[in-house]
Structure 1
Amino acid sequence: MSEKKFPMPDEIKAEQLEDRPGREYKMETQPIYDDKDYKGYDRLKGKTAIITGGDSGIGRAVSIAYAKEGANVVIVYKEENQDSKDTVKAMSKYTDTSKILQIAGDIGDPEFSKEIVKKTLEKFGSIDILVNNAAEQHPQDIITDIDNEQLERTFKTNFFGVFYLVREAVPHMKENASIINTSSVTAYDGNPQLLDYSSTKGAMTSFTRSLAIQLAEKRIRVNQVAPGPIWTPLIPSTFGKDNVENFGADTLMGRAGQPLELAEAYVFLAWHNASSYITGQTIHINGGKIVNG
């Protein structure tokens, strides 16, 4: 990766996005998701990866990184069609579009997971890497403001959807396959405004560890990345202006992270040659916060 200067909080416009989880193409301060000087080394050549939430934010950066490394990439997204098109356009600079499949739907629906697996196998014939990255959050100041609908919706997207997709995909995954989950620093540090979201990420962490034990005999590795404050459409679509304009300022790095800064961790965990002895673990990418686990 070439040396880059990432924006400080005062360089990020404190904008607000009306739609949740946000549309990246509407952001005035665009997240940094690609290092155009880095072309990749075919480390994932011949592998097929499913990436939920692959149309924007962290998912977009991972999708592009995997394309550079030669993988077939299945981008799963809900309804952000323009973002998905923009991601494919960025990927097409490094790979043939025949190696990209877009699938739209609600990850919280168990039937959609069956569709994802079916279409992936029909087009590419295998599932070697599964990145569970899709998530939503709805800040509330107090637990009594979190109604049943919000609680169920957050868990359906952030955790049940992961469970459904893993359950469908695992029977088709072979030795040396890799499952990578996106957890969060909130699973370890907590967040008073994100009580339900933090709980889903805590469930994700326990799921990652338990699934790693369960699949060890099959030689399928299961790990997770726990991001800290990362500048994605999720932030200006869910937090107020005051939170957005200071986003990431309280980290040791003094700024929010960019999606590009996480992508290599997902490549590392997917590439068996490099991470063959790693399972049940968490890579913390959070600007310097020290957490247990």
Structure 2
Amino acid sequence: MCAQLSNAVAVVTGGGAGIGEATCLRLAEEGTAVVAVDVDGEAAEETAATIEDRFGEDAQTLGLEADVADESAVESMAERVVDRFGRVDVLVNNAAIRVDPRPVTEADEESWDRILGVNLEGAAFCAKHLVPHMPEGGAVVNVASNGAAVGRPNWSQYDATKGALVSMTKDMACDHAPDGIRVNAVSPGWVITDHHLPDDEAEARSFFAEKTTPHEDGPGILKRAAEPREVADAIRFLASEEASFVTGTNLEVDGGLAAVGKGLEWDSFSSS
């Protein structure tokens, strides 16, 4: 069993923005020592600085640069984490990329190599080099996507990596249960991150409020997109002792999109 989050050490990849940044902040709220890892080293350091600003100079945090598709970079990152904290209790494999949406008949080898390298091999490399440093058990949370469950045109490459990640999660759970390590996945739907926001600050606030409020054309049952914090809350749960009997599962955090696809007009749903 992993340590309580207040005494835990967590590594979050893709921790410089979006769901990863929100997860770093959410775990830091629990008193967790948080390592933000990102291919953008400055963004990772900014997340660590935000944790210190928000939770005080005594907050245990570190921002590290690493391309998770590069195993040697992951190995070096893991060494720095262990040198600083001595162990790992929680690993959140959140780092991911998208490539230009296209059907497989138009996808080239380079785009396949890159998306598989980050989205799937990156999670495997991080587990390879960090899970052995969970001596008292721990928790791994792989961030997949509801694209693994819901078909859509032109997204075969991205969704294939996320479907494979869900499958790998189940096998990892079997592999590491004897070590007291739980492995689960979360599959977000549409989450509004900085990637989606206009550059203008006022327009960004308006866009965020609009898309995270239920509206007629919104996705799923709840008819809206999620805030990054809502996914981070689910990750925190799976990483915590509250989920002590949960392993090998995939938690859909998508407002019901995978349950109903794009269906349900808001008027008919709200009146039922």
Match of 1:281 in 2: 249
C-alpha distance in structure 2 between counterparts of 1:142 and 1:97, whole Å: 49
C-alpha distance in structure 2 between counterparts of 1:43 and 1:68, whole Å: 13
Rate the CA distance shift 1:75–1:227 in 2: closer, same or farther, 3 A: same
Residue 236 of structure 2 is aligned with which of 240, 244, 267? 267
C-alpha distance in structure 2 between counterparts of 1:85 and 1:101, whole Å: 7
Any unmatched runs of 5+ in structure 2?
Answer: 199-207, 261-272
Q: CA deviation at 1:90?
A: 2.9
Q: Which amino acid aligns with 2:220?
A: T
Match of 1:58 in 2: 19
Residue 133 of structure 1 is aligned with which of 94, 103, 113? 94
Q: Which amino acid aligns with 1:231?
A: I
- The Cα RMSD (Å) is 2.4
SS at match of 2:251: strand
Rate the CA distance shift 1:172–1:46 in 2: closer, same or farther, 3 A: same
Mean Cα displacement is larger for which, 227-236 or 144-153?
Answer: 227-236
Contact 1:188 1:291 in 2 (8 A): no
C-alpha distance in structure 2 between counterparts of 1:232 and 1:150, whole Å: 23
Contact 2:33 2:61 in 1 (8 A): yes
Whether 1:46 aligns to 2:7 is yes
Question: Which has the bigger relative contact order, CA under 8 A and spacing at least 6?
Answer: 1
- As a proportion of its length, which structure holds more helix? 2
Rate the CA distance shift 1:89–1:168 in 2: closer, same or farther, 3 A: closer
Rate the CA distance shift 1:133–1:260 in 2: closer, same or farther, 3 A: same
Match of 1:124 in 2: 85
Q: CA deviation at 1:113?
A: 1.3
Match of 1:190 in 2: 151
Q: CA deviation at 1:47?
A: 0.7
Match of 2:222 in 1: 253
SS at match of 2:231: helix
C-alpha distance in structure 2 between counterparts of 1:200 and 1:277, whole Å: 27
C-alpha distance in structure 1 between counterparts of 2:156 and 2:211, whole Å: 21
Q: After TM superposition, list the pairs within 5 Å mapping 1:1-293 onto structure 2.
A: 44-79=5-40, 81=42, 83-92=43-52, 93-96=54-57, 99-235=60-196, 249-272=218-241, 274-291=242-259
Rate the CA distance shift 1:195–1:290 in 2: closer, same or farther, 3 A: closer
Contact 2:45 2:62 in 1 (8 A): no
When normalised by structure 2's length, the TM-score is: 0.82
Number of aligned positions between the proteins: 243
Q: Which amino acid aligns with 1:232?
A: T
SS at match of 1:287: coil
SS at match of 1:154: helix
> Deviations 1:120-172 (Å, cap 9, x if unpaired)?
01001110000000000123233233111111100000000111111111221
Rate the CA distance shift 1:284–1:91 in 2: closer, same or farther, 3 A: same
When normalised by structure 1's length, the TM-score is: 0.77
Mean Cα displacement is larger for which, 221-230 or 249-258?
Answer: 249-258
Q: Which amino acid aligns with 2:132?
A: P
Mean Cα displacement is larger for which, 106-115 or 189-198?
Answer: 189-198
C-alpha distance in structure 1 between counterparts of 2:62 and 2:174, whole Å: 31
Contact 2:44 2:65 in 1 (8 A): no
> Deviations 1:36-77 (Å, cap 9, x if unpaired)?
xxxxxx951121000000111000111001111011111100
C-alpha distance in structure 2 between counterparts of 1:78 and 1:47, whole Å: 24
Q: CA deviation at 1:193?
A: 2.2
Match of 2:269 in 1: none
Match of 1:24 in 2: none
Any unmatched runs of 5+ in structure 1?
Answer: 1-41, 238-243
Q: CA deviation at 1:232?
A: 1.7
> Deviations 1:234-267 (Å, cap 9, x if unpaired)?
4469xxxxxx998982322222111011111111
